[in-house]
């Protein structure tokens, strides 16, 4: 163990992240001075966790190779976050084509569902991820992405709009309407270096109705989104499948692929988004159920995540309105996770109706 490595070991005494739990002086020293082909070091990967002791995960990947180059830290962190999924022995299913018929045609009840949204992150080719990519790499990602986007057809056909070409008013309108991502403001993204050269090579693609969006060069190379008001979950998923399938086809035709691995699925900047990287969410009103003392536990047992309806760092639109999405990303396909959310939300609505009628929900509460 080199003296230089020991002298450079970060002070994690006030940290509580998964990175802190699994980082040892021996592991740090073993990786000290090592770099991926893109020049990413372990220090690059853990910097955001060092700067913010409150983070749950505490590290990001600078490129795809980071996950295997520094696997003695990344793999235990992934296992801790992803409900025991073990990248050293487990494998993630990677279907070639997403099937919209995997979930029922029956819409959820629009008395309770305000809107539905599905999004994934994807990384292109061999380029480094947002925390470590060069200006040249980011511009090449944008070029490849926008060429592929030109080939999208049907309901998802649209146009690409670079942020650098927008007026401040146009940009703010898209942000306030929850279509466009803003310049990184969270400590997590700033500390990870994701705001460098802003807004160079960042932009948004959207169709005429703004129900299908693709973000370019935010936290990941691509964020593919399908969303709409109301409870037609199947319509949102169908459009989502069309977008992902067509985008993959266009990229392959140009000699590019989504970055993936058999053990980690699709590879993204944040370990929380490995696997499918899917976040399938609904904004739902549960006036009676949210007053039940078991509500938080019910949501957890259904493998759902509860957030504010304004987004990850914003409060909810009301005390009885929630953004619910899948907790799991790894080990299941996109279709399986969408089905899970559909079934869970359907059950929550049934509980809400029972409570509205003054009836017990004891038999519906998941064990």
Of 27, 252, 263, the C-alpha closest to 151 is: 252
Structural domains present in the chain: 3-81 (1.10.135.10), 100-356 (3.30.590.10)
Under DSSP, the state recorded for 227 is E
Please identify which of the residues 133, 307, 333, 352 carries the catalytic annotation.
307
Please identify which of the residues 117, 122, 202, 223 carries the catalytic annotation.
223
Active site residue 119: yes
- Are 32 and 4 a contacting pair, CB within 8 Å? yes
- Are 316 and 324 a contacting pair, CB within 8 Å? no
Residue bearing tokens 């948004």: 204
Under DSSP, the state recorded for 101 is G
Q: Give the pLDDT score at 186.
A: 87
Of 307, 293, 278, 288, the C-alpha closest to 348 is: 288
Give 123's Cβ-side CA count (13 Å radius): 30
Q: Give the pLDDT score at 314.
A: 46
User: For 146-192, where are the E strands, in sequence order?
Assistant: 158-162
> Between these two residues, 296 and 6, which has the higher pLDDT value?
296
The predicted-structure confidence for 259-278, as pLDDT tens digits, reads as follows: 999 999 999 999 999 999 99
Edge to edge, the sheet with strand 113-122 lists 158-162, 203-207, 212-216, 222-229, 113-122, 279-285, 321-326, 304-307
Q: Is residue 142 classed exposed, middle or buried when 0-12, 13-18 and 19+ CB atoms within 10 A define those classes?
A: buried
Q: Report percent pLDDT > 70 for the chain.
A: 97
The predicted-structure confidence for 10-36, as pLDDT tens digits, reads as follows: 999 999 999 999 999 999 999 999 999
The predicted-structure confidence for 165-215, as pLDDT tens digits, reads as follows: 999 999 999 999 999 999 988 888 888 999 999 999 999 999 999 999 999
The predicted-structure confidence for 66-97, as pLDDT tens digits, reads as follows: 999 999 999 999 999 999 999 999 999 999 89
Please identify which of the residues 36, 41, 45, 119 carries the catalytic annotation.
119
SS3 93: coil
Active site residue 248: no
Under DSSP, the state recorded for 164 is G
Q: Give the pLDDT score at 106.
A: 87
Active site residue 354: no
Q: Is residue 341 classed exposed, middle or buried when 0-12, 13-18 and 19+ CB atoms within 10 A define those classes?
A: buried
Mean pLDDT, all residues of the chain: 94
Please identify which of the residues 279, 280, 290, 333 carries the catalytic annotation.
279
Distance CA 272, CA 212 (A): 23
For residues 289-294, give the mean pLDDT.
Answer: 96
Active site residue 270: yes
Distance CA 205, CA 215 (A): 7
The predicted-structure confidence for 134-176, as pLDDT tens digits, reads as follows: 999 999 999 999 999 999 999 999 999 999 999 999 999 999 9
Please identify which of the residues 4, 312, 314, 356 carries the catalytic annotation.
312
Please identify which of the residues 45, 133, 268, 270 carries the catalytic annotation.
270
pTM of the model: 0.93
- The Cα-based distances of 73 to 36, 56, 68, 291, 322 in angstroms read 15, 14, 9, 40, 34
Which pLDDT band holds residue 312 (cuts at 50, 70, 90)?
very low
């Amino acid at each position: 163990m080199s003296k230089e490595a020991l002298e450079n070991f970060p002070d994690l005494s006030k940290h509580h992240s998964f990175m802190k739990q699994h980082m040892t002086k021996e592991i740090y020293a073993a990786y000290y001075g090592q770099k991926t082909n893109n020049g990413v070091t372990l220090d690059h990967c853990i910097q955001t966790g060092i700067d913010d002791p409150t983070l749950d995960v505490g590290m990001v990947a600078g490129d795809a190779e980071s996950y295997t180059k520094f696997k003695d830290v990344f793999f235990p962190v992934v296992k801790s976050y992803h409900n025991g999924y073990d990248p050293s022995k487990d494998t993630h299913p990677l279907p070639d084509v997403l099937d919209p018929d995997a979930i029922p045609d029956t819409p959820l009840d629009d008395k309770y569902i305000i809107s539905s949204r599905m999004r994934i992150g994807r990384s292109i080719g061999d380029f480094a991820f947002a925390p470590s990519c060069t200006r040249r790499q980011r511009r090449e990602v944008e070029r490849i992405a926008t060429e592929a986007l030109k080939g999208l057809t049907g309901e998802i056909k649209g146009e690409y709009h670079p942020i650098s070409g927008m007026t401040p008013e146009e940009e703010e309108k898209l942000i306030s309407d929850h279509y466009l991502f803003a310049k990184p403001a969270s400590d997590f993204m700033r500390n990870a270096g994701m705001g460098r050269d802003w807004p160079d090579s960042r932009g948004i693609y959207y169709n005429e109705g703004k129900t299908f969006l693709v973000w370019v060069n935010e936290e990941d190379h691509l964020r593919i989104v399908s969303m709409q008001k109301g409870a037609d979950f199947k319509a949102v998923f169908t459009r989502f499948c069309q977008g992902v399938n067509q985008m993959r086809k266009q990229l392959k035709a140009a000699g590019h692929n989504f970055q993936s691995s058999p053990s980690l699925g699709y590879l993204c900047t944040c370990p929380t988004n490995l696997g499918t990287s899917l976040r399938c969410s609904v904004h739902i009103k549960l006036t009676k159920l949210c007053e039940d003392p078991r509500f938080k536990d019910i949501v957890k047992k259904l493998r759902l995540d509860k957030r504010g309806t304004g987004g990850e760092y914003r409060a909810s639109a009301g005390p009885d309105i929630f953004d619910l999405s899948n907790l799991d990303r790894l080990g299941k396909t996109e279709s399986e996770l969408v089905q899970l959310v559909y079934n869970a939300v359907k059950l929550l609505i049934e509980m809400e109706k029972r409570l509205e009628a003054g009836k017990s929900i004891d038999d519906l509460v998941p064990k």
